[in-house]
Amino acid sequence: MRTITGKVWQVSPPHGLILTFPDGAHRRYRVPDGTMFDINGQKQSIFNVRKGMMVSATIVREAPETEVSSTRMITGAAPPPPA
Per-residue pLDDT at 63 exceeds 70: no
Q: How many CB atoms lie within 10 A of CB 60?
A: 9
Average pLDDT, the chain: 85
For the stretch 24-57, pLDDT in tens is 999 998 888 888 877 777 888 889 999 999 887 7
Per-residue pLDDT at 23 exceeds 80: yes
* Overall pTM > 0.75: no
Q: Between the CA of residue 26 and those of 2, 34, 43, what are the distances in Å?
A: 17, 23, 23
Q: What is the pLDDT of residue 11?
A: 93
Do 17 and 10 meet the contact criterion of CB atoms below 8 Å apart?
yes
